[in-house]
Amino acid sequence: MLQPSLSVGSPIAGLARALDFPSRATIVDEGEPARAIYRIVSGHVMVSRFLPDGRRQIFEVLGPGGVFGVTPNGHHDSAAEALTEVRLMAFDRQAAERSSEFNAALADLLKAQLCALHDHAVLLGRKSAVERVMSYIEDLIGVADAQHADDDVAIVRVLMTRSEIADYLGLTLETVSRAFSQLKREGVIGYERHDGPMTVDLKRLKRLTGRNL
Amino acid sequence: MLQPSLSVGSPIAGLARALDFPSRATIVDEGEPARAIYRIVSGHVMVSRFLPDGRRQIFEVLGPGGVFGVTPNGHHDSAAEALTEVRLMAFDRQAAERSSEFNAALADLLKAQLCALHDHAVLLGRKSAVERVMSYIEDLIGVADAQHADDDVAIVRVLMTRSEIADYLGLTLETVSRAFSQLKREGVIGYERHDGPMTVDLKRLKRLTGRNL
DNA sequence: CGAAGAATTGAGGTTAATCAACGAGGGTGG
DNA sequence: CCACCCTCGTTGATTAACCTCAATTCTTCG
């Protein structure tokens, strides 16, 4: 997928500043006034929201090129947390919104996000626990689709805890753990340590997800 | 919420043509090449996607001002169906994408949609059946928030069938029906005929949703 | 070594899905 | 006009999936 600019060289480059965050840092809080729009240079970021009683839903996990902090009103509707060390470009919101060039580039990025959120809504509304976890694993492989197209096995690293994956997939951490265990028993995935590398048998995964998605 | 133009008077007005559809007509099919971007003038539209095995997820229900048919690639990722008689403005996609003015206006609309999809993801991932139906009823009242702010009772019309509501809320039609029955028993809502007007006791609804959202 | 955080696994409970029957309009054709 | 059918909604009984509670292990870190 094309990644529009929003970067140096563009006339709005002057509005941007680089920012770094350590792993697990909170970048924006829910409800906070929206002063900037952020683009990820390197690292990964989770975007989430809490219900008053503590239930959490993670909407998206963004990698390099991803954008967050966009809001229709003046306040962030969701929080953003660094999943790894992160380098960001921060664009002053007020100034950026006045630049039609910025908005046009942003529109392209938002279109892709919209599509991703549609995928995720299908997952949350209509897929079983194991299907959700398989979709998650496919996401992990992600653009690697290209580089793994002819491979039998992909190797990925799970950056999120079971609890975070659960809040992303609309499950509990126990159900996520059981789904991982089941897929491991079935030989779809393999790992020694949960924070180590995970191997994915692409053929088996495709066979399981191919039929229904 | 502000509704940016994308309308007559704008320099891209020449790219637009008006279209009418009868109730229940299919406006765009999933997978179809994306020739246009649509804005609703009047009426309501559902946007949805199917899994290969027939499971359906409805992403959003759009009213006047709503936009659909936006896609990051050349093909529609979802279908759109008229829920009522609908009048649309259709913007030629190729031409519109070249207009930074169009894209800028579109960005504002997409921001609002993004926020709405976040709300919906929380609903799908983290709310119980009755909570989902209550949220749906709140949506029905919608902007009426303003005009009903001092009222005790709102009167709304449910345009969707139980099956459509189920596919919107990630439930089965039976569960939706039971939730409606329960809320009726509890006096939160009232109706004689399912296709007739429905009264909503706003105080009771707020009391139930207020705590947890 | 002990404590804290994360994952796994088991047992049991709850919610929502599934299967099934029935009733209420609305349309169509005899 | 009425009988029939078809769609939609409601409700009940049962099942299955997932959640909750709880115990245990593993790893890391002080």
Domains of chain A: 11-125 (2.60.120.10), 127-209 (1.10.10.10)
- Neighboring chain B residues of A71 at a CB cutoff of 8 Å: 111, 115
- Which residues in chain A are contacts of B49 at CB distance < 8 A? 118, 122
Closest-CA distance of chain A to residue B50, Å: 8
Across chain A, what does the average pLDDT equal?
Answer: 90
B186-CA/C10-C1' distance, Å = 38
B21 backbone φψ class: left, alpha, beta (φ>0; ψ -120 to 50): beta
- Chain B's closest residue to A53, CA to CA, is B212
Q: Are A191 and A142 in contact, with CB atoms under 8 Å apart?
A: no
Residue A5 has pLDDT above 70, yes or no: no
Strand-pairing partners, residue B93, are none
Chain A closest-CA separation from residue B12 CA (Å): 14
What is the least distance, in Å, from the CA of A156 to any CA of chain B? 25
Tell me which chain A residues have a C-beta less than 8 angstroms from the C-beta of B209: none
Gap from B14 CA to D18 C1', Å: 54
B110, A110 contact by CB (below 8 A): yes
pLDDT for the residue numbered A27: 97
When comparing pLDDT for A197 and B100, which is higher?
A: A197
Instruction: Average the pLDDT over A35-50 and give the result.
Output: 96
Contacts of A26 (CB under 8 A, 6+ apart): A79, A80, A81, A82
Q: How far is CA A4 from the centre of its chain?
A: 18
Q: Is nucleic acid strand D under 7 Å from A135's C-beta?
A: no
Q: Which residues of A193-209 are buried (b: 16+ CB within 10 A; e: fewer)?
A: eeeeebbbbbeebeebb
CA distance to A73, A80, A117, A182, per residue, from A69 (Å): 11, 8, 15, 37
Interface of A with B (CB under 8 A): 1, 49, 51-53, 55-57, 59, 70-73, 77-78, 100-101, 103-104, 106-108, 110-115, 117-118, 120-122, 124-127, 167, 169-170, 211-213
Q: Are the Cβ atoms of B125 and A169 closer than 8 angstroms?
A: yes
Q: Residue B127, Cβ neighbours under 10 Å: how many? A: 22
Sheet holding B79-82, edge to edge: B26-28, B79-82, B45-50, B56-62
pLDDT of residue A143: 65
In what side-by-side order are the strands of the sheet with B16-21?
Answer: B16-21, B86-92, B36-42, B67-68
- Say whether pLDDT at A164 is over 50: yes
From the list A172, A135, A21, A14, the residue with the least C-alpha distance to A87 is A21
Query: Does residue A4 register a pLDDT over 50?
Result: no
B174 touches strand D (CB under 7 A): yes
DSSP state string for B7-44: STTSTTGGGEEEEEE-TT-EEE-TT-B--EEEEEEES-
CB contact under 8 A, A51 and B101: no
Cross-chain Cβ contact A59/B121 below 8 Å: yes
Q: What is the pLDDT of residue B4?
A: 47
- Model pLDDT for residues A100-154, shown as the tens digit of each residue: 888 888 999 999 999 999 999 999 999 999 999 999 999 999 865 566 667 789 9
CA distances from A85 to A8, A21, A26, B7, B126 (A): 22, 6, 11, 44, 29
Q: Where are the alpha helices (DSSP H) in chain B?
A: 93-98, 100-126, 129-141, 144-148, 162-169, 173-185, 202-210
Least confident of A9-18, A136-145, A185-194: A9-18
Chain A CB contacts of B53 below 8 Å = 211-212
Give the percent of chain A with pLDDT over 70. 88
What are the φ/ψ torsions at residue A81 (nearest 5 degrees)? -130, 140
Residues A75-108 pLDDT 10s? 999 999 999 999 999 999 988 888 888 888 899 9
What pLDDT was estimated at residue A88? 96
For B62, phi and psi rounded to 5 degrees?
-105, 140
Beta bridge partners of B33: B75
Chain A closest-CA separation from residue B48 CA (Å): 9
Please provide the size of chain A in residues. Answer: 213
| Maximum alpha-carbon separation in chain A | 55
pLDDT of B100: 82
pLDDT, position B6: 56
SS3 A98: helix
Going residue by residue through chain B (213 aa), what tens digit of pLDDT does each one get?
434 455 544 555 567 899 999 999 999 999 999 999 999 999 999 999 999 999 999 999 999 999 999 999 999 999 999 999 999 999 999 888 888 888 888 999 999 999 999 999 999 999 999 999 999 999 999 865 566 666 789 999 999 999 999 999 999 999 999 999 999 999 999 999 888 899 999 999 999 998 666
Residue A8: predicted pLDDT: 44
The yes-or-no verdict on residue A1 having pLDDT over 60 is no
Q: Per the structure block, which two tokens stand in for A108?
A: 């392209």
Whether B162 CB is under 7 Å from strand D: yes
SS3 A92: strand
Q: How far apart are CA B90 and CA B197, in angstroms?
A: 32
Collapse the DSSP code of A69 into the 3-class scheme (helix H, G, I; strand E, B; otherwise coil) and give the result. coil
Comparing alpha-carbon positions, the chain A residue that sits nearest to B118 is A59
Cα A94 from Cα A7, distance rounded (Å):
17
Search chain B and give the residue with CA nearest A54.
B212
